[in-house]
A and B are shown apart, each in its own frame.
Chain A
Amino acid sequence: MELTLFTALLTVSLATFAFSCYRRLSLVTVGRSEHRFDRPVDRLKEMLVYAVGQKRVVSRPFGLNHGIIFWAFLVLALANLEFLVSGIAPALSFALLPAPLHGALLLLFDACSLAAFAAVVIAAVRRTAWPPFDGARTFEAYFILSMIAILMLAYFGLNGVRIAQGVLPSTSATPVSNLVAGLLQATPAAAHLETAGNIFWWIHAVVLLGFMNFLPYSKHMHILTAIPNVFLRSMGKCNTQERETFLEGNSFGAATLEQLSWKDLLDSFSCTECGRCQQSCPAASTGKQLNPRQVIHALKENLLKNGGVMAKLSGDRAAERQISLIGSGENGSTRDAALWSCTSCGACMEVCPVFIEHLPKIVKMRRHMVQMEATFPVELLNLFENMEQRSNPWGMAPSERSKWSSQLNLRPFEAGETEYLLFVGCSGAFDARNKQVSVALTRVLDAAGVSYGVLGKEEKCCGDSVRRLGNEYLFDQMAKQAVQQFVAKGVAKVITQCPHCFTTLKNDYRQYGLELEVIHHSELINDLLKTGRLKTDGSGDVGRVVFHDSCYLGRHNDVYDAPREALTMATGREPLEMGRNRGNAFCCGGGGGRMWLEEHEGTPINRNRVQEALAQQPEMICVSCPFCMTMFEDGIKELTGTNAQVRDIAEVVALSLQPSLLPPSSS
């Protein structure tokens, strides 16, 4: 009777579970196609390290707790499989295995169940006392934890009964179950072991099958999607955006589900709502509307509301029915102000344990607003016009671009004659403060005898800001012109002093068929110091120096050590580190085109970072990016009680050069 009942229950449960998974997961097919199956071996490796190995999960507080639940579950999957199989075919159980192996398994299951139970209790306490984010104390979260706890308790209860009944041997292999068995025998339940066993068995069965059927409808769906999501991750750094094809009839950017890719949609099912992205997001943590977790959550909500409709309808009818991804912030949409708050710093993607790619989605939605609706913050109108007409953000006359070097006698770049192109960048050429960095850099390069030339007035903006802001049409034009110019001039090796130029020339122009060897000045300077081409006389000690990582040098391109090593050699001591450094560094607030936007909401991002830097009581804050320079100088001006100076790494190194090696000063 019970056997039949359970067989029926299991069959129905498996069928509904399969159906639920199919119904939910098939929604992602609404998205555009995207190839994510190249390099399968590497993908497997990544999956083993990051999903099975939980590498990113355990790197943060309480991450180990999740790791314990996850690894315990991998082991207990075996126990649960046995439970289900023996439920319909009682003869089939691990008892058939040789006794030592069976004993070992029982010990393992016992230990894992205990570990999982303890971890679940810790998780519940943590969520109550130190929630990962406001609003994390949801019924759903506690329900999931309770389900797991009940499963573990039922397991111990069941095994305890079996030991008490003598069905399972009472060995030292199952300490917890033994304890439960002892407790059972000491209570009146001892007379009703059969009934107690049945109750535990059915609790375990119902909770297990019920939980399985609850999964696809909850955030716990991630246990099904997270592992494949890591397998399907972007194999390179997610530091650029894909190109668009500008043909009539195409739509540009994304405001609806089908304009995103299936992987974008799968991301939304993989979110575990751990809240790490929002903790590390400079916009979210300074009171802006953007919350990367919410962006992904809204996408999931939209997919659940619209996906079914979309799959059935097509073309205009589907478009009419669906709710836009950009809107009031309700009903599966994200507010435009939230999307404009993103600094594209990539911190969210760096911490996401399941490799959700937030930034590409945000840029896609920005693209829609700029390109399809022509709606964007008012400051951007001038920026776009300036970029289009004068190829620099300020609308300065292109003929003024070489003015900073009018007294420096720089060589024009010529293939064969000069090894490197020094790509000065708009800030280095036009911005008063950053022009000083350009001058310092040329001094360093000259002192080391580096062969380089410049494009002078012919240099144009690389287009970084317009691309991150979603004006892909304009970026496309700028990139094509730049690539044409570089090819015509035979440029192969480029030095940049701006991480934004650096990443654009290196990673974005590659999409246009141009493979450049791009080196950031901090890397080059480090090489020159290491190889002895650049000599410091030890007079470069400028006191306490704290180093700030630029997002586009560090997080987006993994250059962390070069500037630190160069600073150490130039100043004679290792730079100080802020609390959030390297991959966890906090953005200055200037990336993603935010440099050109007012910061109306919350508290200024740059002030947050400047205060963090000042906590190290530095005499100098060293940066490696012109935007960081501006943001830090602006931020420090607002604060009193500090004399700390902001300097670029090139300036710090220039200070430390042996005076005899310096070329005659220009001023």
Chain B
Amino acid sequence: MLVVACIKQVPDTTQVQIDPVTNTLIRDGIPFIINPYDSHALEESLRLKDSHGFKAVALSMGPPNAEATLRKALALGVDRSILLSDRVFGGADTLSTSNVIAAAIKKLGEQEEVGIVFCGKQTIDGDTAQVGPGIAVRLGYSQLTLVDRIEKIDIVNRTIVVRRKLEGRYEVVEARLPAMITVVRELNRPRYPTVPMRLSSAKAQVECWSNDQLQLDVNSVGLKGSPTWVSRIFSPERKEGEIIGDGISDPVGAASLLLDRLVDGDMLAV
């Protein structure tokens, strides 16, 4: 049985800056990282591999350079890493992205039964939290979002019990397999790759699937299959801060100066 982790390579948002003229992200020289929530999805798939004997597959849609992230997944221990990359997939919104990923999972399912698909609860670049649910809907899988604990997996009866972390409460849910699960950070603590695994993953094969393999209608993928698009991106303006007082030699004075400033600016009002 397969467990699929959907992972996305995202620009390290702490380092992203926006081009003030074109209103687009300046991606030059910005390192890419695995979407932090996805690293927990990946970790959980590896844990199921260890505990239940699932075969773990990492899946990512993105440009060819997303291979680096998939290679890292191999270093962490997934059995297969598959990159979904094609020019026609470019410019995709969440709908057409989920079309492509769902098609890939379906194709995987033709070879071996898919039990669980893990996604991060959202990505740190798009922040939509829509792709996971989109995949579930398109595949007809149970949809379990915001999961922070897997309570039980019953492979014989094809059921799963999970705990969802909601605002102010938990919800324990039982569902049928196959299921799509989006995960929160509290689910687990991601592992760190061993050096032998890093070295062997450097040579391992990251499979690349284009639309030749998936055979999707080009009008349902990429920009053409996207009913939404980003029209403008900008960072909110923020005034330059200032240093007041001298916290080292006069911490008391600095604190009272700060307090005065806050009171004057009416910033302490409740």
Contacts and interface: CB of A to CB of B under 8 A. Distances in A.
Interface of A: 246-248, 251-252, 370-374, 376, 378, 381, 384, 389-390, 395-399, 436, 473, 645, 667
A248 B190 contact: no
Question: Which of B189, B190, B191, B192 has the most A CB atoms < 10 Å from its CB?
Answer: B192
Interface string B226-247: 0000000000000000010010
Nearest to A433: B248
Contact of B14 (A252, A381, A397): A397
Given A381-B189, A389-B31, A667-B243, A473 B195 contact: yes
B15 A246 contact: no
A248 B15 contact: no
Given A252-B195, A371-B195, A374-B194, A399 B15 contact: yes
A248 B196 contact: yes
B174 interface: no
Given A374-B192, A381-B192, A398-B15, A246 B199 contact: yes
Nearest to B190: A381
A247 B198 CA distance: 10
Given A389-B31, A390-B12, A399-B15, A374 B191 contact: yes
A529 B12 CA distance: 45
Nearest to B197: A374
B254 to A, nearest CB: 12
A399 B12 contact: no
A369 to B, nearest CB: 10
Nearest to A476: B195
A389 B195 contact: no
Nearest to A396: B14
B17 interface: yes
B64 interface: no
B33 interface: yes
A291 to B, nearest CB: 28
Interface in B160-208: 189-196, 198-200, 203
Interface string B25-38: 00000010100000
A189 to B, nearest CB: 73
17 contacts: A246-B195, A246-B199, A248-B196, A248-B200, A252-B195, A372-B194, A372-B196, A373-B194, A376-B192, A381-B190, A384-B192, A389-B31, A389-B33, A395-B14, A397-B12, A399-B17, A473-B198
The 3 closest A-B pairs by CB, nearest first: A371-B195, A397-B14, A374-B192
A370 B246 CA distance: 42
A390 B243 CA distance: 26
Contacts of B194: 371-374
Interface in B88-135: none
B14 A390 contact: yes
Contacts of A396: 14
B193 A247 contact: no
Contacts of B15: 390, 397-399
A436 B189 CA distance: 36
A532 B248 CA distance: 29
Contact of B248 (A371, A374, A384, A436): A436
Contacts of A397: 12, 14-15
A395 B31 CA distance: 13
B71 to A, nearest CB: 14
B78 to A, nearest CB: 15
Given A384-B192, A397-B15, 9 more contacts: A246-B195, A251-B196, A252-B196, A371-B194, A399-B15, A399-B17, A436-B248, A473-B195, A473-B198
B189 A378 contact: yes
Given A374-B191, A381-B189, A436-B248, A389 B196 contact: no
B1 to A, nearest CB: 26
Nearest to B198: A473
A371 to B, nearest CB: 4
A552 B172 CA distance: 53
A399 B193 CA distance: 27
Contacts of B14: 390, 395-397
A373 B189 CA distance: 16
Nearest to A647: B248
Contacts of B190: 381
Contacts of B196: 248, 251-252, 372
B171 to A, nearest CB: 28
Contacts of A384: 192
Among A246, A384, A396, residue most surrounded by chain B Cβ atoms (within 10 Å): A246
A619 to B, nearest CB: 13
A397 to B, nearest CB: 4
A422 B71 CA distance: 37
A645 B195 CA distance: 44
Contact of B199 (A248, A399, A645): A248
Contacts of A251: 196
Interface in B1-26: 12, 14-15, 17
Contacts of A381: 189-190, 192
A248 B196 CA distance: 6
A456 to B, nearest CB: 14
A371 B196 CA distance: 8
A645 B246 CA distance: 14
Nearest to A407: B243
Contact of A372 (B12, B17, B195, B246): B195
A247 B199 contact: yes
Contacts of B192: 370, 374, 376, 381, 384
Nearest to B242: A667
A590 B200 CA distance: 35
A441 to B, nearest CB: 15
A469 to B, nearest CB: 12
Contacts of B193: 374
A420 B246 CA distance: 30
B75 to A, nearest CB: 10
A389 B199 contact: no
Contacts of A370: 192
Nearest to B12: A389
Contacts of A436: 248
Contacts of A389: 12, 31, 33
